[in-house]
Homo-oligomer: A and B are copies of this chain.
Amino acid sequence: MSSAVDYRLYLVTDTGQCGDRGVVTTVRAAVAGGVTVVQVRAKDGGDRDRLALVRAVVDACAGTGVPVLVNDAVDVALLGGADGVHLGQSDLPADEVRTLLGPDRLLGLSVSTVAEIGAAPTGVLDYLGVGPVHATPTKTDAAAPLGADGVAALAAATDLPCVAIGGIHLDTIDPLRDTGIAGICVVSDICAAPDPEAAARALRTRWDRS
Report A's interface with B, CB cutoff 8 A: 45-49, 51, 72-76, 78-79, 88-93, 96-97, 99-100
Kindly identify which residue among B72, B76, B88, B100 contacts A79, using a CB–CB cutoff of 8 Å.
Answer: B100
Q: Is the CB of A48 within 8 A of B93?
A: yes
Q: How far is A79 from B75 in the complex, measured between Cα atoms in Å?
A: 11
Q: How far is A150 from B196 in the complex, measured between Cα atoms in Å?
A: 50
Q: State the majority secondary structure of interface residues on A.
A: helix
Kindly identify which residue among B76, B89, B92 contacts A92, using a CB–CB cutoff of 8 Å.
Answer: B76
Q: Is the CB of A47 within 8 A of B79?
A: no
Which residues on the B side are within 8 Å of A90 (C-beta)? 45-49
Q: How far is A97 from B72 in the complex, measured between Cα atoms in Å?
A: 17
Closest to A90 in B: B46
Q: Is the CB of B79 within 8 A of A48?
A: no
Q: How far is A100 from B92 in the complex, measured between Cα atoms in Å?
A: 17
Q: How far is the CB of A53 from chain B (nearest CB, A)?
A: 13
Closest to A49 in B: B90
Q: How far is A48 from B92 in the complex, measured between Cα atoms in Å?
A: 4
